[in-house]
């Protein structure tokens, strides 16, 4: 899924152009820019005062798996650069081939560890993660093939081969908006798992999910906005 020659890139572009022609022939006219955060507003907005329940439909993401402290692990930096480079390349391909433009979504992450208490104690070296960015439903693996080829030729970034397009099914989830430094999430997560879930007859079933609504390079730590989400089931 990673053709790297100029001939492979040309073939992928021809494939995309052909799909775009067929889309227009069947009535797929130019659309305004789509913002998936607006399309899925209940999933990308949350109360900062209380936990709420949301039903999350199957959604597809570009994903990159890794381990270790996100502040120091080289793999984490590779993941962010690879995901954003491919996401923007796919966006421009979609606009050119399909006349379908969209806003690149925020960075998101799935987090887990053998001892989940390490998230409360913030022992980051024990963490495993999947960083990801939401993609529109019309983006397919063939499009990722073309995007990989282009980014490899232009930038040659490390870790590109680790990126995959995958559908995530979370179903019923509890979520809350955390405002403040990432390292202050511990008490919120402890309250969720030790108090709120048991009190409401609920149990966690999947990986802890975070959605980063603020750019940490620009926002002050006290103003960082992060949605904390936990897939759950009723007991």
d(CA 139, CA 90): 8
Q: What is the pLDDT of residue 114?
A: 84
Q: H/E element holding 80?
A: helix 74-98
Dihedral sign for Cα 207, 212, 216, 221, please.
Answer: negative
Q: Which two tokens stand for residue 195?
A: 């108090």
Give the pLDDT of residue 121: 78
Which residue, chain included where needed, has tokens 């080829």? 149
Burial 95-107 (b: 16+ CB within 10 A, else e): bebbebebebbbb
| Structure token digits, residue 193 | 């798992």
Predicted pLDDT of residue 140: 96
Give the global pTM. 0.85
Residue 176, H or E segment? strand 171-179
pLDDT at 173: 99
Q: Determine whether 146 is exposed, middle or buried from the number of CB atoms within 10 Å of its CB (0-12, 13-18, 19+).
A: buried
Report pLDDT digits (tens) over 92-134: 999 998 899 999 999 999 999 888 777 777 888 889 999 999 9
**SS3 assignment, position 52:** strand
The tokens describing 149, both together, are: 């080829």
Q: What does the pLDDT read at residue 115?
A: 81
pLDDT less than 70: residues of the chain: 1-31
Task: Output the CATH code of domain 6-234.
Answer: 3.20.80.10
Rounded-to-10 torsion of CA 228, 232, 234, 235:
-110
What does the pLDDT read at residue 101? 96
């Amino acid at each position: 899924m990673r053709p790297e020659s100029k001939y492979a890139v040309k073939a992928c572009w021809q494939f995309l152009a052909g799909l775009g022609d067929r889309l227009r022939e069947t009535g797929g006219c130019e659309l305004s820019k789509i913002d998936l955060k607006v399309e899925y507003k209940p999933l990308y907005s949350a109360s900062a005062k209380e936990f709420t329940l949301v039903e999350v439909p199957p959604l597809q993401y570009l994903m990159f798996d890794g381990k270790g402290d996100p502040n120091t692990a080289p793999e984490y930096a590779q993941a962010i650069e690879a995901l954003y480079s491919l996401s923007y390349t796919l966006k421009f391909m979609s606009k050119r081939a399909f006349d379908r433009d969209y806003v690149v979504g925020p960075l998101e992450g799935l987090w887990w560890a053998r001892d989940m208490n390490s998230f409360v104690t913030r022992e980051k070296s024990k963490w495993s993660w999947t960083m990801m960015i939401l993609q529109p439903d019309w983006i397919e693996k063939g499009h990722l093939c073309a995007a990989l080829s282009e980014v490899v030729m232009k930038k040659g970034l490390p870790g590109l081969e680790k990126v995959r397009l995958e559908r995530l099914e979370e179903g019923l989830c509890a979520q809350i908006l955390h405002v403040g430094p990432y390292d202050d999430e511990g008490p919120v997560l402890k309250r969720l798992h030790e108090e709120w879930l048991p009190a409401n007859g609920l149990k966690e079933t999947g990986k802890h999910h975070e959605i980063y609504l603020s750019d940490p390079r620009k926002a002050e730590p006290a103003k960082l906005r992060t949605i904390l989400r936990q897939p759950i089931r009723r007991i």
